[in-house]
Amino acid sequence: MLRLSKLTDYATVILSFMARDKIQVHAAIEIAAVTGIALPTVSKILKSLVNANVLISTRGAKGGYILARKPQQITVATIISALEGPIALTECSISRQGCEQASGCDIGGNWSLINKTIHNALESVTLADLIRPVVVSEEVLVPVSSIYR
């Protein structure tokens, strides 16, 4: 289905909340309360985002999490790879070796091109775009029927 994991989806929800809120520092328990996501899960996600340098954490009383950069500087690609690892459709997109599909697959180069295109698409959208009030013009929505041709 080529879809994002649930955790990545949660991450965008959490980050959107943090980006929108005037207050800078948010504790995990607070984010859990606001978003409705269970605390342990929120915690796990926040840790991943810290490791990816999207958030900065402060321990101890009055501690919490804060955005490491401005929303305009946090791309969707970054968020996805923070939670799911490298963005790569096929094995050979990551490393040329180690793939070697059952005899005869030699299409690595072309997949890389596709992969690069997708990566660019995800790089071009930032957290700031996600929280921008949506202008839902009908033309922008993907017509589901067109998915099957």
Partner DNA sequence: ATTAAATAGGACTAGAATAGTCCTGAATTA
Partner DNA sequence: TAATTCAGGACTATTCTAGTCCTATTTAAT
Residues that bind ligand FES (CB under 6 A): 9, 90-92, 99, 101, 105, 107-108
Restricted to residues 28-57, the positions that interact with DNA (CB under 7 A) are: 28-29, 38, 40-41, 43-44, 46-47, 50-51, 57
Q: What's the CA gap between 39 and 2, in Å, rounded?
A: 27
State the number of binding residues for DNA (CB under 7 A). 28
63: contact with DNA by CB under 7 A? yes
The residue within the footprint of DNA, chosen from 22, 36, 62, 103 (CB under 7 A), is 62
Reduced to 3 states (helix: H, G, I; strand: E, B; else coil), residue 67 is strand
Q: Which DSSP string corresponds to 43-64?
A: HHHHHHHHHTTSEEEE-STT-E
Q: Is the dihedral of CA 62, 71, 123, 148 positive or negative?
A: positive
- β-strand partners of 65: 26, 57
Tell me which residues touch its own copies (CB under 8 A): 1-4, 9-10, 12-13, 16-17, 34-37, 52, 75-78, 80-81, 84-91, 93-96, 101-119, 121-122, 124-125, 129-132, 134-136, 140-142, 144, 147-149
